[in-house]
Amino acid sequence: MPTTLPLRSNQTLISRLRRGALVAYVLSLAAICGVIAVNGPQMRAAAEAHEAQIIEEENTAFCSKFGIGHQTSRYADCANGLAEIRARYLQRNLGDSIL
């Protein structure tokens, strides 16, 4: 009585397992793409709001070092100056990028 399966059965089983793994992989990718498509705009909006909050905190901390309060008219000038500095910094970094 043989204790191993014939070679043909093993190849068929391996072929089915590979095909099943491929189908599972493709379905997983489709599910991930679906989740990103549905939640992507919300995730992006949350990230942008978080970034804006961080920038506002940095502006307040920096300008207050020089006695410029958040409610003063000079605060807008200080914040705009920091925005220009950030923009130039990003341009320099993009210029140095190899991509």
What are the tens digits of pLDDT across the range 17-68? 999 999 999 999 999 999 999 998 999 999 999 999 999 999 999 999 999 9
Q: What is the pLDDT of residue 6?
A: 55
Are the C-beta atoms of 61 and 75 separated by less than 8 Å?
no
Domain ranges of the chain: 7-96
Is the model more confident about 3 or about 80?
Answer: 80
| φ, ψ dihedrals at 89, nearest 5° | -60, -45
pLDDT at 2 over 60: no
Q: Helix 73-96 vs helix 7-65: angle between axes, to the nearest 10 degrees? A: 140
Longest dimension (CA), the chain: 94
At 11, is the pLDDT very low, low, confident or very high (cuts 50, 70, 90)? confident
